[in-house]
Structure 1
Amino acid sequence: MSDTISLCEHRQRKPIPVEQRGRHLVVDLHCHLNVMAAAAVIRAQVSDPPDPLRFMSPASKAVMKQLFGQIGPKLNGVTERIADMDRLGVDVQAISPSPGQYYYFAPPELGREAARATNDGVAAAVGQHPDRLVGLGTAPMQNTEMAIAEMRRCVKDLDLRGIQIGANINRRELSDPEFRPFFAAAEELGVLVFLHPLGFTHGERLAEHYLDNIIGNPLESTIALSHLIFGGVLQDHPGLKLCVAHGGGYLPGYWGRMDHAYRAREDCRQHICCEPSSYLRKVWLDTLVFDKVQLDALVRSHGADRLCLGTDYPFDMAEPDPVGFHDQLSEADAAKMLGLNAAELLGLKVTNRAAR
């Protein structure tokens, strides 16, 4: 009985008041914070953690070293972040952990400790500017029971509004039966699950030219989302609030091929009863696609109701003009994609609108 009451409380969490400063409410659903306390937890007990840059050439690694030196204050804190939000016209950032802080490789107990430190750090950052920042947490996905418990703590105790997960868990697909209870719990809680990759698992051919990120990140999301669709996770959990970074990878631009396979082959119909694209269109995507023609194509094929502005702040692969990038849209579509869709997902309530 107590668990049922707790879940009801989670679903009825209070809206977060935010202020709209411009023509539209602008909510950045895709931006990151590095929590140094969590990194220290891992360093203290893991002498040789996996290298997230292992599939990058020496030239790309050199650029990354320089980049982290430049963006460190923005990635690790909030002071410069707020100034940048004002400059970019962003009212609210939904900050999620830097993808390098998943720590799925750690033993479960250590992973839980690091996840708690990460989530406490995100909550503390939000507490400094609760009118400008909302938080997405992380979960120790290497142990599903622990992941669910930490997700519930994020929602109940820290008032975080979602959980960011990787595109695979130690090279295991998200459709693995072991992870089903996690998605069931997220659906029941009504909490946003933000799927964000960290390079490509088989990036041996992508070392040069930063291809591990340029091609690898969207490809990793494409594979993960395909497994969630064909594996039946989205069919079995129709109320799951799933948002996929980087415009959902390549799947939204080539969904016809998987629909054809569904019609032509019985092995593509093992766990689903409808065309794969029907599940794809129930997922939210961010708008980090960098080209307005591609953005228009997303609106036509996916619908403005399921698209949310995302920048990937503060990395160099971020959208430099998030509001201007959407200026060719209709007034109604722009309002939804710039902020209203994300506000609904995150439980935000506009308390004041600037005069137009």
Structure 2
Amino acid sequence: MSVVSCADQNLIPVERKGKHLVVDIHCHLNVSAADGIVQVNYPGPPPGINEFSCAKTLEVNRAQFGTIGATLNGVEQRIKDMDRLGIDVQAMSPNPGQYFYFTDADIGLHAAKLVNDGIAQAVEANPDRFVGMGTVPLQNVPMAIAEMKRCVRELNLRGIEISSNVNGKDLHSEEFRPFFAAAEALGVLLFIHPLGFTQANRMTEYYFNNLIGNPLESTLAVGHLIFGGVLDRYPGLKICVAHGGGYIPGYWGRMDHGWRARADCSEHCQHLPSSYLRKLWFDTLVFDKDQLDSLVRTQGADRLCLGSDYPFDMAEPNPVEFHQHLCDGDKAKIMGLNAADLLGLTLRT
């Protein structure tokens, strides 16, 4: 297994229990200590969460968090679930509700450090089963860069989870360029995971802010990185996008046509937009095997990683079984080897 890792990190030895190494790249851990710090100064839910949810959705969400609270905040049950589901390693990233971009920078940094320390502690206690990804206060880019370096160099975290926008500012904004430059230099994985849609006034019913909004946000994030020239300027970035990359893998032809036909579409983007998709990685959280097959066909098996969204109700309930129809070589890459390369894992001998 070839492995690509951050320059300053050693490889993490892991074991496989079955025929293939299984690494779940899309799992979340909540660190309640960070919530406590933020709630003192910013009581209530994060902006943009409840504003676009109807009463029925809020009711279902309350019931969900009542059910998964211990699992989301701890590791004992999650290890049992991993054994039951055949998951060798979870790449734990923060609960997206803990980005805390909406706070002032000092509180955001304090909260991010608590989240990152909590994830690092969970990994340290279970080094055979977990690898960690952190969060950074992107409302202040110098602070975000410093905390990203701490995550990589001191906590041995292998990725940074970021949202699809920062308080409504898209990722191609010039102010975020130093962050992407630092991430490229560190060789650290960026895991893009949205938190609903920012302007979801027509998505309040039927959980559309998640069902439609999350993939749409991922689509916009990827689109801005491509058309805004970020991927041209920082070609060495390692980026994995949640939810199968959103809608962009299924409708990239329209982007390519716009790039050919319109000067405003090609101003900052040097090549066909679709050509950049193969520079990214997507998780396989698409729920339908035909859609998974389409991803394999268009994206390639070497650019996909098994992802479940554990422990939320929008998780793939049986992620290993979901990939069983694939050919053996594709299965090995998607279920574990690609994530191992991205996260700096190696099979224990």
Q: Normalising by structure 2, report the TM-score.
A: 0.97
Shift of 1:51: 5.3
**Does the Cα contact within 8 Å between 1:25 and 1:91 map onto a contact in 2?**
yes
User: Equivalent residue for 2:307?
Assistant: 310
**Does the Cα contact within 8 Å between 1:97 and 1:138 map onto a contact in 2?**
yes
Give the Cα separation in 2 of the matches to 1:272 and 1:46: 39
**Does the Cα contact within 8 Å between 1:10 and 1:156 map onto a contact in 2?**
no
**Does the Cα contact within 8 Å between 2:8 and 2:153 map onto a contact in 1?**
no
Shift of 1:272: 1.5
- Would you say 1:332 and 2:329 are equivalent positions? yes
Alignment-mate amino acid for residue 198 of structure 1:
L
Identity over aligned residues, as a percent? 61
Summarize the alignment of residues 41-120 of structure 1 with structure 2, pairs less than 5 Å apart: 41-48=37-44, 49-50=46-47, 52-120=49-117
**Does the Cα contact within 8 Å between 2:193 and 2:218 map onto a contact in 1?**
yes
Provide, for residues 187-219 of structure 1, a one-character-per-residue CA deviation record: whole Å limited to 9, x for no partner. Answer: 000000000000000111111111110000000
User: Equivalent residue for 2:34?
Assistant: 38
**Does the Cα contact within 8 Å between 1:42 and 1:114 map onto a contact in 2?**
yes
Shift of 1:346: 0.2
**Does the Cα contact within 8 Å between 2:48 and 2:198 map onto a contact in 1?**
no
**Does the Cα contact within 8 Å between 1:246 and 1:287 map onto a contact in 2?**
yes
Alignment-mate amino acid for residue 243 of structure 2:
H
User: Equivalent residue for 1:250?
Assistant: 247
User: Equivalent residue for 1:281?
Assistant: 278
User: Equivalent residue for 2:19?
Assistant: 23
Shift of 1:10: 5.3
User: Equivalent residue for 1:272?
Assistant: 269
Give the Cα separation in 2 of the matches to 1:243 and 1:255: 17
Give the Cα separation in 2 of the matches to 1:10 and 1:85: 26
Summarize the alignment of residues 171-250 of structure 1 with structure 2, pairs less than 5 Å apart: 171-250=168-247
**Does the Cα contact within 8 Å between 2:164 and 2:217 map onto a contact in 1?**
yes
Give the Cα separation in 2 of the matches to 1:26 and 1:256: 33
Select the residue among 270, 292, 296 that pairs with 2:293: 296
Q: CA RMSD in A?
A: 1.1
Q: Normalising by structure 1, report the TM-score.
A: 0.95
Shift of 1:310: 0.2
Gaps of 5+ in 1: 1-8
Alignment-mate amino acid for residue 107 of structure 1:
D
**Does the Cα contact within 8 Å between 1:195 and 1:243 map onto a contact in 2?**
yes
Q: Any idea what SS the aligned residue of 1:118 has?
A: helix
Alignment-mate amino acid for residue 25 of structure 2:
L
Gaps of 5+ in 2: none
Q: How many equivalent residue pairs?
A: 344
Give the Cα separation in 1 of the matches to 2:162 and 2:70: 24
Provide, for residues 124-160 of structure 1, a one-character-per-residue CA deviation record: whole Å limited to 9, x for no partner. Answer: 1111211100000000000000000000000011000
User: Equivalent residue for 1:124?
Assistant: 121
Shift of 1:53: 2.6
Deviates more, 1:54-63 or 1:9-18: 9-18
Give the Cα separation in 1 of the matches to 2:267 and 2:212: 29
Give the Cα separation in 2 of the matches to 1:233 and 1:73: 39
Alignment-mate amino acid for residue 23 of structure 1:
K
Q: Any idea what SS the aligned residue of 1:94 has?
A: strand
Alignment-mate amino acid for residue 339 of structure 2:
A
**Does the Cα contact within 8 Å between 1:27 and 1:91 map onto a contact in 2?**
yes
Give the Cα separation in 2 of the matches to 1:133 and 1:164: 16
